[in-house]
Amino acid sequence: MSFKDSVSGLADRLAKAKSQADISEEATKQAVILPFLKELGFDVFDTTEVIPEYTADVGIRRGEKVDYAVAINGKIEFIVEAKPLNANLGSVQYNQLYRYFGVTEVRIAILTNGADYWFFTDIDAPNKMDERPFFKFSLEAYDDGDLRELEKFSKSAFNIDLVQETAAGLKYSRLAGAYITEQIQSPDDEFVKLVGRSFYEGNLTAKVVEALKPNIRRAFDDIIRQRVRQRLEVALGDDDGDEQDEQDELASAALVPAKGGVQTTDEEWQAFFIIQAIAAEVTSPSNITIRDAKAYCAVLFGDNNRKPICRLFLEGKTKSISFFDAEKNEERVHVGGPGDLYQHQARIKNVVAHYSDAMGGN
């Protein structure tokens, strides 16, 4: 069985576990977390390899335990703190991981609720666990790239130097993405000056910078649309540049105007184009439509309210997106901006593929 198939089996186990009401932390460990470690190649029945209730004295705190320590060739390589399946990792306390990380030689810490696995290391300061995970893996929404990163933590492939090098790359990519997303939404003066120096020959005064900002935003929009068009062309198997007008018409056919005076924002359009490009891998882009309302902006399959893909809540400082699965279960996720949609490609493709299959694969 391939690693991909093994992880798919874990996702099935997770779905069964979630069908139980109020599953406890211990039940979560047995149902999902230990099988997860097993699929990474560890012998969960060997207490010298997967050590439960691992104890390390921390300062004046004595006898505190972390849920699991995982060893390779007798050396503990990472520690695991488990939470119940219904726990939101973004709001739970995991102080034990911080304390253990600082007093042991371990360089990788994992926080999990069985469904989501957050991986931490010490990029910011040696022997001090970073506040933010460098890698997040979800059994409910992953793609081939996520699987490749996860496999680096398997017993046979684990290499701490490679993992930390990858961790630094992932962190810097995330930070760069966050900065670029911020500039797409609202370019600051320094960014406008940086770009403006490449084409503006005059003095970049405050008045000029302010005047250039709409042009910079428009340039971002054009770049995004071009990238979307390129992905559509690849997905549709069209390498002929003469067909570009046809592609534009295909994409435009999916745009349903907002009603009742509701204005669809630039961010909502950007998010729609990204979703349309992702979905193009499994269906015709014309099946993906946008319908704006006062409370949220909906992205639908076939312009059908009964076939929601997601709802966009992108106005205001706190932004979020609600994703739907094949059973129309809704999960709302906080995002920094439209660019974060690329982290949820599997969710989008799964629900679109379900709708597409139901209508005969069109």
Q: What is the pLDDT of residues 255-265, one digit of tens each?
A: 444 445 567 88
Residue type, 29: K
- Rounded to whole angstroms, the Cα distance separating 247 from 86 reads 44
Asked whether residue 238 carries a pLDDT value surpassing 60, the answer given is: no
pLDDT tens digits for range 1-59? 788 889 989 988 888 888 876 778 888 998 899 999 999 999 999 999 999 988 765 55
Asked whether residue 273 carries a pLDDT value surpassing 50, the answer given is: yes
Neighbours of 70 (CB within 10 A): 23
pLDDT tens digits for range 177-197? 788 888 887 889 999 999 888
In this prediction, residue 229 carries a pLDDT of 64
Q: How far is CA 252 from CA 195, 249, 255, 256, 289, in A?
A: 30, 5, 5, 9, 9
In this prediction, residue 322 carries a pLDDT of 93
- Rounded to whole angstroms, the Cα distance separating 315 from 321 reads 11
Mean pLDDT of the chain: 82
Give the pLDDT mean for 81-106: 80
135-138 sheet: strands from edge to edge: 50-55, 65-72, 75-82, 108-112, 116-120, 135-138
In this prediction, residue 351 carries a pLDDT of 93
pLDDT tens digits for range 289-347? 988 887 889 999 988 888 999 999 998 778 899 999 988 898 999 888 888 898 898 99
Asked whether residue 205 carries a pLDDT value surpassing 80, the answer given is: yes
- Rounded to whole angstroms, the Cα distance separating 337 from 48 reads 44
Asked whether residue 83 carries a pLDDT value surpassing 80, the answer given is: yes
Cβ contact 235:280 at 8 Å:
yes
Cβ contact 116:82 at 8 Å:
no
CATH topology of domain 3-169: tt1808, chain A (3.90.1570)
Confidence category of residue 72, pLDDT binned at 50, 70, 90: very high
- Rounded to whole angstroms, the Cα distance separating 117 from 48 reads 23
Model confidence, pTM: 0.55
Asked whether residue 103 carries a pLDDT value surpassing 80, the answer given is: no
Which residues sit opposite 66 in a β-bridge?
A: 54
